[in-house]
């Protein structure tokens, strides 16, 4: 493909020099460029392809960075990055040292607000609109939010606030009928009805029938018609929330988009523009299967097939989902909940076997947790599968609705620890610290996929809240025959030696074992290695039996050091009078960069080589 037009755009000023009739060609080149550039590296393709025209139109008419464009989640912002001077960096997006996969303030003045988590854009944009008005400035503030992100409560909290006031704010609802998976819920049906126009037609028919049945009461019936029409005319809900509703508009047609956006930008007060787009537009595999092509690894442009790495063990996610489905076979109290991530959490597999016991609540982590509380209070055993990073949203619900009432809800924290290309916003670095300090909570971390299965079985024996955290990626291909429950609160001794005690948590156990074995074979120094298994309750007895005063104590965990298991173990050791060399190999008080999981673990000294080097220092 010839990218001459695209390559001539070094910033938004170049875009503005184009004639309107050149924009479709620019859109076409940008689509091809995205499809080709992401093929060897993967990334969030589908959402960006869907907003190519919208992004071009916004930058054509607005004056970023003076005008503020806030992209919700930020995964669809690749076209925005291209138009704002970041085209040369695109081949390195989400790679180590490369561009961030989301919007990021530190990366560009054109990213006025960073994101990664959903449903924040209207709040941030409204804050900027109010800030602008307080400072008597007059730039535009535009939030672009997807129909999936609109299922998040924050979006409605923000609309409730903004709609009650008169600050100028444009919210663009990018409606492609998809979250990552097909969008769910009543709002999604409402938007679909607006697009199809059926509700409006039906309402008119209903009013007509009322008219026919009430001869002589024409005025009254006329009023009924007006009322019914008013109730379900497109966008009434938004109008009732204080927003001027405009749309629906074809988000791929510049002839519609440009004049509509131009008009919207002249309006005062809060306005919602409903734009209809197609996720993955321009690449048929992505149009046909938008869920797979939402975000993926490398793929073959010619065949339209994602590359599959052969010979890999099952992922933790798959093992989790299959085990939970087995448990649901045997126990009809078991139910599963996802917050808009049925694929990512594996619950699509669970739903295939137990469709009536699997609930996708939308991007609503807080609701997911309290909904689980309600299910638990009615005798069910809910398993809430949410990525570690997204669970941060629901902390008060975990405390107030689950832990205080000691309800048997199990939190299945996928993507715990380093996630790789998604970087800081998606890193699951806090869950060990925030879960282990909650009364009534049991916290487990499996060393491999077999242990994950046993921990799930164990959770069913515990009559209270449980958190199980496991990493992104594949297991080790170990045998998963044993499905017996684990003794609660007991660590596992993996090696024994008198040169020191290493305690490793979950995902770091295998690398710690490798380091301990290398130390023994290369230096003849044997250490005891405990697989902690239970971060809470802590196996104080096993720790104190194996901890010898004067000898090194090393704790390895893939989570933030502050408040992590290591700090609690250190306090325990000191309370028992232990003294000796100490190392807490964990994540520092800083957000990690993006790259592969291996690169980030290496940087943090959390891989086998890093652990080995710390062990060598300690015994030196």
Ligand X SMILES: CC(=O)[C@@H](O)[C@H](O)COP(=O)(O)O
Ligand Y SMILES: Cc1ncc(C[n+]2csc(CCOP(=O)(O)OP(=O)(O)O)c2C)c(N)n1
User: Which partner, ligand Y, Mg ion, ligand X, none, binds residue 76 by CB below 5 to 8 Å per kind?
Assistant: ligand Y
b/e map of 342-358 (b: 16 or more CB within 10 Å)? bbbbbbbbbbeebeebb
Cβ(407)–Cβ(398) below 8 Å: no
Q: Does 449 bind Mg ion (CB under 5 A)?
A: no
User: Six-digit token pair at 516?
Assistant: 């301990």
**Sequence-separated (6 or more) residues with CB below 8 Å from residue 304:** 283, 284, 285
Shortest distance in whole angstroms from residue 280 CB to ligand X: 14
Q: Is 205 annotated as a binding residue?
A: no
Considering only residues 176-195, where is the footprint of ligand X by CB under 6 A? 180
Nearer to ligand X, 447 or 472 (CB): 472
3-state helix, strand, coil in the chain (%, to 5): 45, 15, 40
Which of 331, 556, 343 lies closest to 456 in space, CA to CA?
331
472: contact with ligand X by CB under 6 A: yes
Least Å distance, CB 182 to ligand Y, is 10
Provide the 10 A C-beta neighbour count for residue 7: 13
| Phi, psi at 616, each rounded to 5° | -60, -45
Does 152 participate in binding ligand X (rule CB under 6 A)? no
Q: Is 394 annotated as a binding residue?
A: no
Q: Does 422 bind ligand X (CB under 6 A)?
A: yes
Tell me: does residue 147 bind Mg ion (CB under 5 A). yes
Size of the residue set binding ligand X (CB under 6 A): 11
* Helical segments of 460-577, H only: 509-523, 540-546, 565-575
> For residues 305-334, which are near ligand X according to CB under 6 A?
none
Nearest to 394 by CA among 425, 434, 367, 359: 367
Residue 343 or 581 having the CB closest to ligand X: 343
Q: What is the dihedral of CA 546, 549, 552, 553, to 10 degrees?
A: 50
Does residue 103 contact residue 114 with C-beta atoms inside 8 Å?
A: yes
Q: Which is nearer to Mg ion, 340 or 407 (CB)?
A: 340
Instruction: Note whether 235 binds ligand Y by CB under 6 A.
Output: no
- CA–CA distance, 167 with 127 (Å, rounded to integer): 10
Out of 149, 207, 543, 569, the only residue in the binding site for ligand Y (CB under 6 A) is: 149
| Three-state secondary structure call for residue 304 | coil
Which of these ranges, 19-27, 133-141, 336-344, 529-537, lies near ligand Y under the rule CB under 6 A? 336-344
Least distance between Mg ion and beta carbon 307 (Å) = 26
d(CA 602, CA 618): 19
| Residue 75, marked binder | yes
Selected from 59, 80, 94, 117, the binder of ligand Y by CB under 6 A is 117
- Does residue 251 belong to the site contacting ligand X (CB under 6 A)? no
CB of 317 to ligand X, least distance (A): 8
The verdict on whether residue 148 carries a ligand-binding annotation is yes
- Cis preceding-peptide flag for 248 (omega within 30 of 0): yes
Q: Tell me if 557 contacts ligand X by CB under 6 A.
A: no
By CB under 6 A, what part of segment 263-292 binds ligand Y?
Answer: 279
Beta-carbon contacts of residue 80 (< 8 Å; ≥ 6 apart): 55, 59, 69, 71, 103, 110
The residue among 559, 609, 553 whose CA lies nearest residue 589 is 559
In this chain, which of 70, 73, 83, 403 binds ligand X, going by CB under 6 A?
73
449 carries an active-site annotation: no
Among the options 53, 291, 365, 558, which is catalytic? 365
Q: By C-beta, is 384 or 457 nearer to ligand Y?
A: 384
Distance of CA 126 to the CA centre of its chain: 23
The answer to whether the Cα torsion of 265, 268, 272, 273 is positive or negative is negative
Q: Is 442 in the site for ligand Y (CB under 6 A)?
A: no
Looking at the Cβ atoms of 168 and 294, the one nearer to ligand X is 294
In sequence order, which ranges of 291-353 are alpha helices (DSSP H)?
316-330, 347-353
- Tell me: does residue 340 bind ligand Y (CB under 6 A): yes
Catalytic residue among 86, 279, 447, 614: 279
Q: What residues form DSSP beta bridges with 600?
A: none
DSSP characters over 121-147 = HHHHHHHHHHHHHHTT----EEEEEET
Q: Please report whether residue 148 would count as binding Mg ion according to CB under 5 A.
A: yes
Helix (H, G, I), strand (E, B) or coil at 358: strand
Look up residue 576 and give its two tokens: 């028992």
Nearer to Mg ion, 48 or 146 (CB): 146
Quick check: 146 binds ligand Y (CB under 6 A)? yes
Residue 149 counted as an annotated binding residue: yes
- Measured CA to CA, the distance from residue 274 to residue 357 in angstroms comes to 34
**Interface pick for ligand Y out of 390, 411, 430, 534 (rule CB under 6 A):** 390
Stretch that binds ligand X, among 50-58, 414-422, 434-442, 522-530 (CB under 6 A): 414-422
Whether residue 365 lies in the annotated active site: yes
Contact partner at residue 158 from ligand X, Mg ion, ligand Y, none, CB < 5 to 8 Å by partner kind? none
Binding-site member from 75, 104, 367, 469 for ligand X (CB under 6 A): 75
| Cis status, amide bond into 116, omega within 30 of 0 | no
Helix (H) or strand (E) holding 570: helix 565-575
Q: Which of ligand X, ligand Y, Mg ion, none binds 393 (CB below 5-8 Å, type-dependent)?
A: ligand Y
**Sheet bearing 141-146, strands edge to edge:** 68-71, 141-146, 169-175, 270-276, 244-250
Question: Is 167 labeled as ligand-binding?
Answer: no
Which residue, 75 or 447, is less far from ligand Y as judged by CB?
75
Given the DSSP bridges, would you call strands 582-587 and 169-175 parallel, antiparallel or unpaired?
A: unpaired
Residue 20 φ/ψ, nearest 5 degrees = -55, -35
Any contact of residue 295 with ligand X (CB under 6 A)?
yes
Does 176 count as an annotated binding residue? yes
178 binds Mg ion (CB under 5 A): yes
Among residues 75, 357, 454, 472, which is the contact residue for ligand Y, using CB under 6 A?
75
One DSSP character per residue, 320-389 reads HHHHHHHHHHH-TTEEEEESS-TTTTSHHHHHHH-GGGEEE--S-HHHHHHHHHHHHHTT-EEEEEEEHH
Of 47 and 608, CB closest to ligand X: 47
Does residue 145 bind Mg ion (CB under 5 A)?
no
Judged by beta carbon, residue 344 or residue 408, the one nearer ligand X is 344
What is the nearest approach in angstroms of ligand Y to the Cβ of residue 103?
12
Residue pair 519/525 in contact by the 8 Å Cβ criterion: yes
Which residues are annotated binding-site positions for Mg(2+)? 147, 176
Residues near Mg ion, by CB under 5 A: 146-148, 176, 178
Which residues are annotated binding-site positions for thiamine diphosphate? 75, 116-118, 148-149, 176, 283, 365
Residues near ligand Y, by CB under 6 A: 47, 50, 72-73, 75-76, 117-118, 146-149, 174, 176, 178-180, 279, 294, 339-341, 363, 365, 390, 393
Which residues are annotated binding-site positions? 75, 116-118, 147-149, 176, 283, 365
Residues near ligand X, by CB under 6 A: 44, 73, 75, 180, 294-295, 344, 415, 419, 422, 472
Catalytic residues: 279, 365, 393
């Amino acid at each position: 493909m010839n990218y001459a037009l695209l390559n001539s755009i070094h910033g938004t000023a170049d875009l503005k020099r184009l004639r309107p009739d050149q924009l479709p060609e620019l859109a076409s080149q940008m689509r091809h460029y995205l499809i080709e550039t992401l093929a060897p590296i993967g990334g969030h393709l589908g959402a960006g392809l869907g907003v190519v025209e919208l992004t071009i139109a916004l930058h054509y008419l607005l004056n970023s960075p003076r005008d503020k464009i806030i992209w919700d989640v930020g995964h669809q912002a690749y076209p925005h990055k291209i138009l704002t001077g970041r085209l040369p960096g695109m081949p390195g997006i989400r790679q180590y040292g490369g561009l961030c996969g989301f919007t990021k303030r530190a990366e560009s003045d054109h990213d006025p607000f960073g994101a990664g988590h959903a449903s924040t854009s209207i709040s941030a944009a409204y804050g900027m609109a109010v800030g602008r008005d307080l400072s008597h400035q007059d730039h535009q503030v535009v939030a672009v939010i997807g129909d999936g992100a609109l299922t998040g409560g924050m979006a409605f909290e923000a609309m409730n606030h903004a709609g009650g006031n008169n600050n100028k704010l444009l919210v663009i609802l990018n409606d492609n009928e998809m979250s990552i998976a097909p969008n769910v819920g009543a709002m999604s049906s409402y938007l679909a009805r607006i697009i199809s126009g059926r509700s409006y037609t039906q309402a008119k028919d209903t009013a007509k029938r009322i008219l026919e049945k009430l001869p002589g009461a024409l005025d009254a019936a006329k009023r009924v018609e007006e009322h019914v029409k008013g109730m379900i005319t497109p966008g009434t809900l938004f109008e009732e929330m204080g927003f001027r509703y405009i749309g629906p508009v074809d988000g791929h047609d510049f002839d519609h988009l440009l004049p509509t956006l131009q008009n919207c930008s002249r309006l005062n007060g809060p306005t919602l523009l409903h734009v209809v787009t197609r996720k993955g537009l321009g690449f048929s595999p992505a149009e046909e299967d938008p869920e797979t092509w939402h975000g993926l690894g490398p793929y073959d442009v010619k065949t339209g097939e994602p590359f599959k790495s052969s010979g890999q063990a099952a992922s933790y996610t798959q093992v989790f989902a299959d085990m939970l489905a087995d448990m649901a076979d045997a126990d009809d109290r078991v139910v599963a909940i996802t917050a808009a991530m049925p694929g990512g959490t594996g619950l699509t597999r669970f739903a295939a076997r137990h469709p009536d016991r699997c609930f996708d609540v939308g991007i609503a982590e807080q609701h997911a947790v309290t909904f689980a509380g309600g299910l638990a209070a009615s005798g069910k055993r809910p398993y809430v599968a949410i990525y570690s990073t997204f669970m941060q949203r629901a902390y008060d619900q975990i405390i107030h609705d689950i832990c205080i009432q000691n309800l048997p809800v199990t939190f299945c924290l996928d993507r715990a620890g380093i996630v790789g290309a998604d970087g800081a916003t998606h890193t699951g670095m806090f869950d060990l610290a925030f879960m282990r300090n909650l009364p009534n909570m049991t916290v487990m971390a499996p060393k491999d996929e077999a242990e994950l299965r046993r921990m799930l079985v164990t959770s069913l024996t515990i009559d209270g809240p449980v958190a199980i955290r496991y990493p992104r990626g594949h297991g080790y291909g170990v045998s998963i025959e044993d499905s017996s429950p684990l003794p609660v609160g007991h660590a596992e001794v993996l090696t024994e030696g008198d040169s020191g005690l290493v305690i490793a948590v979950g995902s770091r156990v295998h690398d710690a074992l490798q380091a301990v074995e290398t130390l023994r074979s290369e230096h003849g120094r044997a250490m005891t290695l405990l697989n902690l298994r239970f971060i809470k309750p802590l196996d104080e007895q096993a720790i104190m039996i194996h901890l010898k005063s004067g000898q090194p104590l090393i704790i390895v965990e893939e989570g933030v050091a502050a408040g992590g298991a290591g700090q609690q173990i250190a306090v325990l050791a000191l309370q028992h009078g232990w003294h000796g060399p100490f190392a807490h190999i964990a994540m520092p008080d800083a957000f990690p960069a993006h790259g592969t999981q291996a690169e980030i673990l290496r940087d943090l000294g959390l891989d086998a080589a890093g652990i080995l080097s710390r062990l060598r220092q300690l015994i030196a």
